[in-house]
Amino acid sequence: MTNKELANLIFPNITKTIEDYEKLYPERNLKEGAKVVRFAPSPTGFMHIGNMMQAVINFVLAKSSGGVFYLRNEDTDQARTVDGAVDFIHHVLNYYHIKPDEYEYQGKIVGEYGPYIQSERIEIYHTFVKYLIEIGRAYPCFLTKEELEEIREYQTKSKKRIGIYGKYAKCRDMSPDEAAKRIKAGEKFVIRFKSMGDFNKKFVFEDLTQGKIEFPENDLDVPIMKSGDLLPTYHFAHLVDDHLMRTTHVVRGNEWMSSVPLHYELFKTFGYKMPKYIHTSLILKKDGDTIRKISKRKDPEALMFYYEEKGYPILAVIDAVLTIANSNFEEWRASNPDKPFYEFPFSPKKMSVSGALFDLDKLDNISKNYISKMTAENLYQEYKNWALKYNKEIDEIISKHKEDTIKFLNIEREVKKPRKDYENYAGIFDKSWYMYDEAWNRELNYNLGKVKDKDEIINIMEEYLNNYYNEDDSQEEWFNKIKELCLKMGYQSDMKIYKENPDNYKGSVADFTTVMRVVLTTLDMTPNLYDIMQILGKKRMLKRLEIFKENY
């Protein structure tokens, strides 16, 4: 029996050739320098911040080069597939507007290079495996789990390299006749690649981030097709898919770096050009005094649910991700505050090799800045969208008081240095609850300062609200009136004079306005009091004075 006959015995239904696929998926007709990149997560878990970094990098590489960004569902590990993981990937890419140009979802294929789901590409993989068997570069291996375990144990004990190579590759030289006999007898087998590499020889690989790296050649006969579901292993699918989908740049986790010698040999065996590689580093987190790998189990921010639930603006999250992806992003952003992120000239060389430190404080800062630059109407809309999904109570309140909410959000917004109060939409209500009468049913904690006497406070408020406050006053008029009343009641309106002889007065104008602020909001720090009073109006302010009388 020839290798060809053995290949036919294993794949009797495969009639296409690798040349057929070559024609079916021709070189892409793109302009010089256009990058074809893919985001290729395995649906074995929910999309995490490391995946997000890869997706964003891919998106930037494609957009900035006039290339193609496609999504490939790498579902060959069917036993570990997690329900909902694929939906979540599509959701995240949509939510952040980093949509792939080509993908396959819910029965719809967009793009000419699909299917984009690996489990639907089985015929293609089999064609390529069949070809390797025909040319004698792949073979059925009948080693059982126990035998493999035995080999591994022996190698571990005797400090040998682990794997199936040399004398451990027991089926490598089996004759096609014998292989055929065992297959016909129903024995289980995997297909292994027949390596021709020499571990003692070296080759140089160039990673776009990590530079030139010397590797020993691969000499492992790794499985390329599993028994059972007959799906390919990652390594083989990588070769077939990235070749046929005409990928120019592979952005993938650093954990694949050690497989480079194998991938190098696989591409060489078929005579295909290897794509360029960008191996991304781990995402790290500061935990007390130590820095460790971010953990899906321990750190809620590791999974992409977190950012949406908290209501971080999508562009803030993307900027935070690019900040850790490229060391010069922050500088670029500072000089290009309004440019779309995908115009950033991403450089693989500026990626961290040892690990990217992700810091939520940094995200908060980026986000505060973004939110401070939104219009109040815009912010209201985003806040409402968030509330609609994550907090019905808040949604009800802010929808009922839409106008006041927008007015409140607009306080000190359209100015040169806008306030930076909010890092996410989930945090807004906690900093604005006092503007809604419905929210005053909580335990009230009046954060008073120097002036604490209840009668004095009531006196100030009654005098002010009944005899001074006028809702038509400009901010200047408003403040002049406060100063007038403050002097009349034994406080000093001029801070300089006050500081010279503080004992001569009951307090300063600041102490005086603190009283007003606290009675009206319970807090000693809020956005501009004049605006808050304008929104509340006299009637509600009087009501709050009543609440103060009852609760303080």
Applying CB under 6 A, the residues found at the interface with ligand GLU are: 40-42, 74, 238, 250, 252-253, 256
Minimum Å gap between C-beta 150 and ligand GLU is 29
Q: Give the three-class secondary structure for 45.
A: coil
Contact 133, 7 (CB under 8 A): yes
Minimum Å gap between C-beta 48 and ligand GLU is 10
Q: Cβ–Cβ contacts within 10 Å for residue 252, how many?
A: 18
For residue 446, give every residue at least 6 positions away whose Cβ sits within 8 Å of its Cβ, in sequence order, or none. Answer: 518, 519, 522, 548, 551, 552
Type of residue found at 460 = I
**Which of 120/395 has CB closer to ligand GLU?**
120
**Which of 74/265 has CB closer to ligand GLU?**
74
What does the alpha-carbon distance between residue 122 and residue 517 come to, in Å, rounded to a whole number? Answer: 69
CA 392 to chain centroid, in Å, comes to: 26
What does the alpha-carbon distance between residue 247 and residue 172 come to, in Å, rounded to a whole number? Answer: 32
Q: Give the three-class secondary structure for 216.
A: strand
**Which of 54/424 has CB closer to ligand GLU?**
54
**Which of 180/257 has CB closer to ligand GLU?**
257
Minimum Å gap between C-beta 172 and ligand GLU is 27
**Which of 351/536 has CB closer to ligand GLU?**
351
Q: Give the three-class secondary structure for 317.
A: helix
Minimum Å gap between C-beta 93 and ligand GLU is 15
What does the alpha-carbon distance between residue 179 and residue 22 come to, in Å, rounded to a whole number? Answer: 30
Does 115 sit behind a cis peptide bond, omega within 30 degrees of 0 on the bond before it? yes
**Which of 256/468 has CB closer to ligand GLU?**
256
Minimum Å gap between C-beta 114 and ligand GLU is 17
Q: What is the DSSP letter of 472?
A: T
Contact 135, 128 (CB under 8 A): no
- DSSP states of 90-145 as a string? HHHHHHTT---SBEEETTEEESSS---BGGG-HHHHHHHHHHHHHTTSEEEE---H
Minimum Å gap between C-beta 76 and ligand GLU is 8
Contact 151, 164 (CB under 8 A): yes
Q: 377: which 2 tokens?
A: 């109407």
Minimum Å gap between C-beta 170 and ligand GLU is 30
CA 466 to chain centroid, in Å, comes to: 54
For residue 237, give every residue at least 6 positions away whose Cβ sits within 8 Å of its Cβ, in sequence order, or none. Answer: 74, 76, 118, 121, 125
**Which of 74/104 has CB closer to ligand GLU?**
74
Minimum Å gap between C-beta 241 and ligand GLU is 9
**Which of 73/432 has CB closer to ligand GLU?**
73
Closest CA to 208 of 158, 155, 275: 275
Q: What phi, psi does 524 have (nearest 5°)? A: -95, -5
**Which of 68/461 has CB closer to ligand GLU?**
68
Q: 165: which 2 tokens?
A: 């190579």
Residues in the chain: 552
Minimum Å gap between C-beta 54 and ligand GLU is 7
Minimum Å gap between C-beta 243 and ligand GLU is 13
Closest CA to 259 of 205, 325, 210, 211: 205
Beta strands in 356-397 (DSSP E): 356-357
**Which of 250/482 has CB closer to ligand GLU?**
250
**Which of 166/253 has CB closer to ligand GLU?**
253
**Which of 163/275 has CB closer to ligand GLU?**
275
**Which of 251/485 has CB closer to ligand GLU?**
251
- DSSP states of 337-403 as a string? TTS-GGGS---GGGS-SS-EE--HHHHHHHHHHHHHHS-HHHHHHHHHHHHHHH-HHHHHHHHHTHH
What does the alpha-carbon distance between residue 350 and residue 346 come to, in Å, rounded to a whole number? Answer: 8
Minimum Å gap between C-beta 74 and ligand GLU is 4
Minimum Å gap between C-beta 253 and ligand GLU is 6
Minimum Å gap between C-beta 124 and ligand GLU is 17
CB neighbour burial string for 164-180, b if at least 16 within 10 angstroms, e if fewer:
bbeebbebbebebeebb
Quickly tell me which residue has 């009388």 as its tokens: 549
